């Protein structure tokens, strides 16, 4: 069994709250209008045809919240996507350190994918910026170097940085202390960046796209995630195969019907996993290998594959739900970024690569993105979760955390190395977002908008957080492209 060993918490019936009245007051641009008809339907729904089945019901208010799909489309495609794409191309965010040699902890190794497109393009050590190689933590301003050793020790722990002037013994002690202290807040299994097997991967040289990795190995990964780690009512069991168009349920609703018997937190957990799965599938459909292996490789949009995974007619109605779960996940990570913004706005937090001009431009772009994000009026209210009886809420949150941490460990079972890189990165990004939203230190410090003495993010967490959100932003942008392609085929 791969199920995390946790104790079940009592279900809660909670409300999902959002703040703000209208996204259009925030937009402040009369030229950008919601796709609404006078009858209350979106024009996507009103003009839906058999060729547009993937989108004719992707409209209106999302389940479990009061934010609508159209508002997110406008916000993402016009405000966020252009900037987040530029940010993830900058040096600080393009290099991700990962251990691809960690063994699968749950079943015997079924060998790595032998397809050439599964392999990771190596990143020469000489290409990695010197500031990134020098340490995996945020660097602080030179002004702080005038402090005494004691002050430096305390300040280093506060920022998650270890001053190079400290002795090796002291530095190791602080690192051990920080790792032990943070372990209770981590929602995912982190690679040991000091391991000789850990390597830097240039994400721009290894884009996420379809590699040909499929079959029993890929199916077992997703099946283990859904079957062994997603919450289910105790009295219900239905077979699940998430990689086929229909999951074999006669009513066409499949696993989603189970959610009606779950409390909010457990519904949210499933929707986060489903949203992540949908986002990854959109990336594969948008960057699909269109040429045979013996000819020149060419990647592009595969409309037929997109229909297979998301058309309600081919998924017994589940395709639209899968896409809505993507939007739901987008809101969760969006709120995490909004909440953590004060951490990065402190002048002492620098995105350090060793290139002063590059670093300044990167942080300026990041702060511009945070300003746009915080202006969004329909943010998810994380206080609506784990808000019942304190002991029961604590038990449920720990169960939630361990289930997700278990899923992060399953990423080491992915046989395709390139798929493993992106799976680990996006899982760690979501885990970091959950840490920001639900860790005790976050609740205590960031909600008060005060300097977070106990809270810290490593460089790897920052890189994963922003790249993972960038992947979600790209997915929503790609939905617009697929909508256009389907319309053109009519």
- 90 has binding-site annotation: no
- 85 has binding-site annotation: no
Report the candidate in 193, 224, 221 with the shortest Cα–Cα distance to residue 280: 221
- How far, in Å, CA of 286 to CA of 295, rounded? 20
- 309 has binding-site annotation: yes
Question: Encoding tokens for residue 91?
Answer: 């040096």
Helix/strand/coil (H, E, C) string of the chain?
CCCCCCCCCCCCCCCCCECCCCHHHHHCCCCCCCCECCCCCEHHHHCCCHHHCCCCCCCCECCCCCCEHHHHHHHHHHHHHHHHHHHHCCHHHHEEEEECCCCCCCCCCCCCCCCHHHCCCCCCHHHCCHHHHHCCCCECCHHHHHCCHHHHHHHHHHHCCCCCCCCHHHHHHHHHHHHHHHHCCCCCCCCCCCCCCEEEEECCCCCCCCCCCCCHHHHHHHHHHHHHHCCCCCCCCCCCCCCCCCCCCCCCCHHHHHHHHCCHHHHHHHHHHHHHHHHHHHHHHHCEECCCCCCCCCEECCHHHHHHHHCHHHHCCHHHHHHHHHHHHHHHHHHHHHHHHHHHHCCCCECCCCCHHHHHHHHHHHHHHHHHHHHCCCCECHHHCCCCCHHHHHHHHHHHHHHHHHHHHHHHHCCCHHHHHHHHHHHHHHHHHHHHHHCHHHHHHCCCCCCCCCCCCCHHHHHHHHHHHHHHHHHHHHHHHHHHHHHHCC
- 258 has binding-site annotation: no
- 299 has binding-site annotation: no
Q: Which residues are catalytic?
A: 416, 419
Question: Encoding tokens for residue 32?
Answer: 């950008």
Question: Encoding tokens for residue 431?
Answer: 């885990």
- 277 has binding-site annotation: yes
**Residues of the binding site for FAD:** 209, 211, 222, 274, 277, 309
**Residues of the binding site:** 209, 211, 222, 274, 277, 309
């Amino acid at each position: 069994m791969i199920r995390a060993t946790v104790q079940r918490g009592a279900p809660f019936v909670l409300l999902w709250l959002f703040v703000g009245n209208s996204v259009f007051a925030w937009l402040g641009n009369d030229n950008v209008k919601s796709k609404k008809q006078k009858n209350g339907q979106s024009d996507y729904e009103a003009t839906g045809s058999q060729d547009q089945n993937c989108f004719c019901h992707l409209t209106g208010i999302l389940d479990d919240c009061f934010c609508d799909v159209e508002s997110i489309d406008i916000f993402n495609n016009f405000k966020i996507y252009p900037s987040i794409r530029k940010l993830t191309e900058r040096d600080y965010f393009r290099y991700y350190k990962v251990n691809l040699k960690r063994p699968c902890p749950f079943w015997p190794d079924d060998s790595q994918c032998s397809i050439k497109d599964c392999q990771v393009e190596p990143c020469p050590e000489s290409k990695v910026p010197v500031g990134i190689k020098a340490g995996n933590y945020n660097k602080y301003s030179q002004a702080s170097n005038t402090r005494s050793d004691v002050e430096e020790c305390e300040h280093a722990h506060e920022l998650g940085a270890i001053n190079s002037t400290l002795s090796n013994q002291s530095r190791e002690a602080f690192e051990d202390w920080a790792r032990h202290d943070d372990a209770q807040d981590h929602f995912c299994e982190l690679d040991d960046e000091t391991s000789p097997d850990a390597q830097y991967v240039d994400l721009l040289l290894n884009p996420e796209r379809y590699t040909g990795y499929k079959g029993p190995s890929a199916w077992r990964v997703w099946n283990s995630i859904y079957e062994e780690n997603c919450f289910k009512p105790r009295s219900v069991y239905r077979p699940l195969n998430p990689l086929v168009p229909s999951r074999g349920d006669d009513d066409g609703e499949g696993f989603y019907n189970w959610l009606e018997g779950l409390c909010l937190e457990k519904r949210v957990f499933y929707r986060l996993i489903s949203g992540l799965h949908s986002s990854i599938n959109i990336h594969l459909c948008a960057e699909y290998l269109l040429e045979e292996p013996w000819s020149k490789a060419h990647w592009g949009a595969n409309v037929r594959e997109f229909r297979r995974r998301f058309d309600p007619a081919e998924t017994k109605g589940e395709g639209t739900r899968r896409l809505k779960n993507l939007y739901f996940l987008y809101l969760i990570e969006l709120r995490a970024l909004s909440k953590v913004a004060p951490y990065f706005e402190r002048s002492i937090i620098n995105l350090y690569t060793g290139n002063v001009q590059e670093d300044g431009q990167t942080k300026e772009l990041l702060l511009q993105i945070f300003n746009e994000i915080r202006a969004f009026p329909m943010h998810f209210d994380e206080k609506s979760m784990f808000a019942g009886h304190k002991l029961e809420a604590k038990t449920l949150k720990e169960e939630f955390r361990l289930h997700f941490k278990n899923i992060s460990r399953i990423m080491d079972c992915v046989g395709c190395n390139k798929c493993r890189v992106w799976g680990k990165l996006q899982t760690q990004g979501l885990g970091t977002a959950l840490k920001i939203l639900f860790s005790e230190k976050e609740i205590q410090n960031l909600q008060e908008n005060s300097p977070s003495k106990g809270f810290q993010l490593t460089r790897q967490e920052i890189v994963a957080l922003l790249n993972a959100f960038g992947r979600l932003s790209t997915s929503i942008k790609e939905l617009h492209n697929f909508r256009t392609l389907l319309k053109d085929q009519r």
